Each structure stands twice: as C-alpha cells, then as structure tokens.
Amino acid sequence: MPRARQHKKGEAEASSTWIGIGGGCIDAQCTIGDSTLIQTGTEQDVSASGKPSYSAWWEIIPGPAIGIGKLKVRAGDRMHAKIAEIVKGSEVWRIILTNRTRHQTFRTTVPYTSTYATAEWIQETPLEIGTNTGLAALPKLSRTTFDRARVNGAPAHLKASERIVLTSRGKVIGKPSWPDPQRNGFALCTWVKRCPAPQ
C-alpha cells in the first residue's frame, strides 16, 4: 500500500493499485482492447488541502467500483489479492482482498462473463465521473511492489515487453520497473525518471 503525498499544491489527486482479469490489450500493438474486467485493489487519494486518504474496493465492468468499508487500509500495509473462478469455466468468481498487516480479509463471489484474455497488475489514475469527467491527477506515491504474481495457478513469468507506462500530455508520470529476477514481481514508481526492479 503506497503512501500518497500531494504532487501539486491545491490539487485534488487520486490513484488506484489493483489486480484484474480482462480490460487489457489483446494484441501487442494494443489496437484490440478487452471490454471485460473484474478487479480488486486499493485507492490512494489526496485532497486539495493535501490530506491523504486510503480505501479498498472491487469492481466488475461496466458496474461501478464498490468500496470495502470494513477492510481498513493504511500507507505501508501489505496487501494480498486473488481473483479466481470457483470452478473452471463456470464464470462464477471469488474475489479476495486481504490486509496482511492488519489480519483482515474481504471475500465476495460474483457471476461474470469474462474473455479470460489478460491478467493485469496496475497502478493508475482512476477515471472521475461527474462534472469534471476525465482521468484524475496523480499524487506522489511511495515506491510500490507487486510480488509473487501468479496466473492460472503458476508463476506469472512477466515480460519487460508487456510493461505499460502511465502518461499525461505525452509525459511519463508513472512507470513499472523491469520484472524481478524471478519474473513474478516488479516495482511501480511515480514522478521519477528511473524505477529500480526489486531483487
């Protein structure tokens, strides 16, 4: 769980860190997208006055994100997330989000039709709905690490070529590191030029 600090004085800023199935690029050039997405994770926001806030949520697209109020999260907490079909091909999914630091777990089971096309580990700015529709401004986040990533019950074997950077007005504002030596984890950094990989 990253620590959020205000990047630009007087600006409300938001970020989310999550895992998901679907929603990514199906081809290498990213000309074909996936309209399905089942996801769970955390949000790290900063108010216009500079006060940080942290929360947990889950979502199945096209529905809205659903907050997990009973799962308390704070900067520095170690989180574990899992999304899996109860029975292969059943299109009934179990979503589990655990705060390992505070020994709290949220579970839910939902039916959902997925393409099964992609698995994702993401840190981004969420889409804001309302009078100011668009992507939120990104706060400064402490270096975050995804680790022990698995797909279909096996280590993820992450590839550097599949990294996606976060841009705003053509400038890179968030970037993943190269995969770690085990190829099952990587770091995420905001507002920096370099993002070293975990060892």
- Does residue 67 belong to any structural domain of this protein? yes
Query: For 95-127, how does the pLDDT look when each residue is reduced to its tens digit (9 = 90+)?
Result: 999 999 999 999 999 999 999 989 999 999 987
pLDDT value at residue 131 = 56
pLDDT of the residue at 32: 79
Question: What's the number of domains the chain is made of?
Answer: 1
Give yes or no for a contact between 149 and 187, defined as CB atoms under 8 angstroms apart. Answer: no
What is the residue range of 124's domain? 4-143
Check whether 183 has a pLDDT greater than 90.
Answer: yes
| Lowest-pLDDT range of 8-12, 38-42, 82-86, 132-136 | 132-136
- The answer to the question of residue 184 being in a domain is no
Establish if 49 belongs to a structural domain. Answer: yes
Share of the chain above pLDDT 70, in %: 96
Is residue 85 one of the residues assigned to a domain? Answer: yes
Domain assignment present for residue 125? The answer is: yes
Task: Check pLDDT > 90 for residue 59.
Answer: yes
Q: Which residues contact 97 (CB under 8 A, 6 or more apart)?
A: 40, 41, 56, 58, 68, 71, 79, 80, 81, 105, 106
pLDDT at 27 over 80: no
| First-residue to last-residue Cα distance in the chain | 19
46 lies in some domain: yes
Q: Does residue 78 surpass a pLDDT of 80? A: yes
Identify the CATH number of the domain in which residue 112 sits.
2.60.120.700
